[in-house]
Amino acid sequence: MDPRVHGIRRMLSGIRRIWVVLSPKGGVGKTLVSVCTAIGLAREGRTVGLLDADVTNPTAHIPLGVDPRGVELREEEGVVPVRAKGVLFMSPVFFTEDRALPLRGWEISSILRELLAITNWGRLDCLVVDTPPGLADETLELLLLLPRKEAILVSTPSPMASTSARRMEEFLRDEGIPLLAHIENMSPRGIPYYPNLDAEIGHIEGTEFCRKVSEIIRSVQND
């Protein structure tokens, strides 16, 4: 067995709930939902972590307002996540200097295992994990490694996204992974379309989008 697996279990042992945010397609707002979910929980007084698990294209630091060039990671029985907007945050971007990483599957899995094994989250009420779109290598590796995981699925009302979301729901059911919420973005049935949202990314926590995400999460978290 990879010795890092033992380290991963130890680093995650103090986390009560782990929410993996998934999307069948890119461009549906999954990362924004991940960030707003974490911020909303922190504002309720929860101790929350956010992990950007998109090894080759991490972007969660942008709506979280973190400039990776100014981050100096601290070591204390592992690497301590940075704090932003009340959330403990870890991302591959802190180690890549914001460069592209053209990696193959086994390389991605190895980097993700290393990141999970060295990150010292301490005790958390919830860890929110932002994943790449679809069932990429990182996502499958995470679903294998993470204990006590629940899924949040983000899609849009387009026929292609809806079809892909149905397939992903079936996959989660077959794998025995609880689906906490299926959030439909840019939809009257879920989160409405906000045409000016891109201009507000730097202060996402103050947007109606974030308030709507928090409202949905409060209705399903069951604790």
Q: Which helix (H) or strand (E) covers residue 36, if one does?
A: helix 30-43
- CATH number of domain containing 159: 3.40.50.300
Domain span holding position 164: 3-220
What's the pLDDT tens digit per position in 187-203? 998 999 999 999 888 88
CA distances from 85 to 12, 70, 202, 206 (A): 22, 16, 11, 11
pTM over the 0.85 mark: yes
Give residue 223's pLDDT.
63
188: which 2 tokens? Answer: 């009257």
Whole-angstrom distance, CA of residue 158 vs CA of residue 175: 26
The structural domain count of the chain equals: 1
* 171, pLDDT greater than 70: yes
User: In 3D, which of 143, 146, 142 has the Cα closest to residue 124?
Assistant: 146
* 165, pLDDT greater than 90: yes
